[in-house]
Structure 1
Amino acid sequence: MTYTVNASILLTDLPLTERPAAVATHGFTRAEFWWPFAGPVPEHGEAAAFVAALHDAGVQLTGLNFYAGDMPAGERGALSQPERTEEFRANVAAVVEIARETGCRAFNALYGNRVPGVPEAEQDTVAVENLRWAADAVAPFGGVVLVEPVSEAPDYPLKTAADALAVIDAVGRENVKLLADFYHLAVNGDDVAAVVEEHAADFGHVQIADAPGRHEPGTGDLPVGQWVRRARELGYEGLVSLEYVQSAPDPFAWLPREQRA
């Protein structure tokens, strides 16, 4: 198994630029991040410091979210919100610059919460246009845009794999793929085993956490390991992201060190 650490939900007791070294200290060589800056375009020097921290730690950046707004306040993306298209596209340019510096090739595009008073069809049209924009921007260097169902966000319209796949079909770009977060799918009531059976070979990325609690595998009731193994058997060849909330002093104790790198 090849793992990557989501260092925006794990290792959060450390400043951003210290997290890549912590990833390496725990025996991993890959990390992904949600958009790590306050605005859609980093302030002067912020991106350079982030890139340098990854290089200095010898950690490969495997995934980066596009700007998703104020996530602690409940925002979950900007790309479907008509008044934020300029903001989103400015962020795409910033993401491309970081990708070219780091070799990152996977980019999570959170769809955005519904905007009251704006027809849903208009929001969906804007989303498709912006996803095409992002896909075309990262295509020259082999980048993939990921579309993710999300839980615990009532106004976020993509809840199931089918919801996300319908958007992906509408976009019509080969480098736009499903991000199969087994935790979000399970919590939303999707049939994760069926999603794996039907779509594993086409997954763009996999993220895992157990439920209830969104903690380490083995802390809840989800057969996470079984789903991952079956996805592999059916042709998924990508990374498995550890995207969970730490519940123990060592958040990686469940995973033998020899299996981490």
Structure 2
Amino acid sequence: MTDHPLRYDINLSILFTELPLLERPAAAAAAGFTAVEFWWPFDAAVPDGSDVDRFAAAVEDAGVQLVGLNFYAGDMPGGDRGLVSWPARSAEFRANIGVALALGARLGCRAFNALYGNRVDDATPEQQDELAAENLALAAKAAAEQGAVVLLEPVSGAPRYPLRTAADVVAVMDGVERDAGADNLRLLFDLYHLTVNGDDIPAAIDAYASRTGHVQIADAPGRHEPGTGNIDIDGHLAALADAGYSGWVGLEYKPSGSSTDSLDWLPRARRSSS
């Protein structure tokens, strides 16, 4: 596999979960990776400063680069999928923007994923979309001040999450760019979610490779490592590279066995960005 020039990073919120969070960056380094990504690694939008310091130190001490970080998205195991469009929790998202960007600035991260949020019963879709546009504009403006981008992604397995295809995401991006002048919103091209949702991957690559700011992979069915399912991951990554994408490819899969064993598909020489 891996017949393309793109660089890999490893998502430590879904891999190496057999270890405590703060031990995972060192485990990634020991496995040969030089770049990592995380979902929001704390239980609150504004965590205690000492917790932030310990997390940052774990990444720094491991000698790995943080290349992707989620904004706070609520209780992910409990079914939450972001606060961007959730009126009752919009203030938490806004409070999290500065915290996430400050952590990213410390660790050199330039890509921040804003999960859009599920539809809720106490607001109309139109109200949620209007709020989401406001919040994305705020996040994009703050990120632009440090040369960063805000990512937006389609998600599968969450029936009330409204962004399912690459076109869904780009429509939101276009609206925020048109109304707020934000030009640093990017598509998070997740091959697993897009495939499961039935999107036309080759067509999406042709249309949106230039709007893509990050890529994530897992095979389907199962959301396990490449080679366990039916997605032509290498073919899609090669097509993205041919279309001009030169960013990171995040390993965001549930290992079918141990995290270490699940990396056998990726030669150790391909795990380092150097």
Q: Is the structural similarity TM-score above 0.5?
A: yes
Q: Once structures 1 and 2 are overlaid, which stretch shifts more, 36-45 or 107-116?
A: 36-45
State the distance in 2 between where 1:112 and 1:129 align: 14
Structure 2: distance between partners of 1:221 and 1:58: 35
Aligned length: 261
Residue by residue over 1:104-127, the C-alpha shift from the partner in whole angstroms, topping out at 9 and shown as x without a partner, is 010000000001131110100000
Deviation per CA, 1:15-44, whole angstroms, max 9, x where unpaired?
A: 111010001010000000000100101123
Distance 1:74 1:175 in 2: 28
Query: Are 1:150 and 2:159 matched, yes or no?
Result: no
Q: Does 1:209 align with 2:218?
A: yes
Aligned to 1:244: 253
Task: Write out the 4+ residue segments of structure 1 that deviate beyond 3 Å after TM superposition.
Answer: none
Q: TM-score of the superposition, structure 1-length normalised?
A: 0.98
Q: Which runs of 5+ in 1 are unaligned?
A: none
Contact 1:146 1:177 in 2 (8 A): yes
Distance 2:101 2:254 in 1: 28
- Per-residue CA deviation, residues 134-163 of structure 1 (Å, 9 max, x unaligned), is 001111111100000000000101011111
Partner of 1:118: 123
Residue 13 (structure 1) aligned with residue 18 (structure 2): yes
> C-alpha distance in 1, partners of 2:55/2:194?
31
Query: Which segment drifts farther, 243-252 or 120-129?
Result: 243-252
Partner-residue secondary structure (3-state), 2:123: coil
* Counterpart for residue 258 of structure 1: 269
TM-score, normalised with respect to structure 2: 0.94
Query: Where does structure 2 lack aligned partners over 5 or more consecutive residues?
Result: 1-5
Indicate if the aligned counterparts of 1:201 and 1:231 stay in contact, CA closer than 8 A: no
Tell me the residue number matched to 1:62.
67
212-221 or 247-256, larger mean C-alpha shift: 247-256
Aligned to 1:185: 194
Q: Which amino acid aligns with 1:236?
A: Y
- Paired AA for residue 206 in structure 1: V
Take 2:90 and 2:83, find their aligned partners in 1: how far apart are those partners?
Answer: 7
Q: Which residue of 2 aligns with 1:130?
A: 135
The equivalent of 1:141 in structure 2 is 146
Question: Residue 83 of structure 1 aligns to which amino acid in structure 2?
Answer: A
AA matched with 2:90:
T
Shift of 1:99: 1.2
Cα distance in 2, alignment partners of residues 120 and 209 from structure 1: 30
Asked if the contact 1:30/1:61 (under 8 Å) is kept, the reply is: yes
Q: Report deviation, 1:83.
A: 2.1
Superposed displacement of residue 86, structure 1: 1.3
Alpha-carbon distance in 2 for matches of 1:199, 1:156: 21
1:176 aligns with 2:171: no
Partner of 2:234: 225
> Aligned to 2:170, which of 165, 170, 189?
165
1:97 has 2:102 as partner: yes
Provide the aligned C-alpha RMSD in A: 0.8
Determine the C-alpha separation between the residues in 1 that align with 2:49 and 2:111: 24
Alpha-carbon deviations, 1:164-220, whole Å to 9, x = none?
Answer: 111000110210011000100000011111111221122111000000000111110
Determine the structure 2 residue equivalent to 1:2: 7
Greater relative CO (CA pairs within 8 A, separation 6+):
2
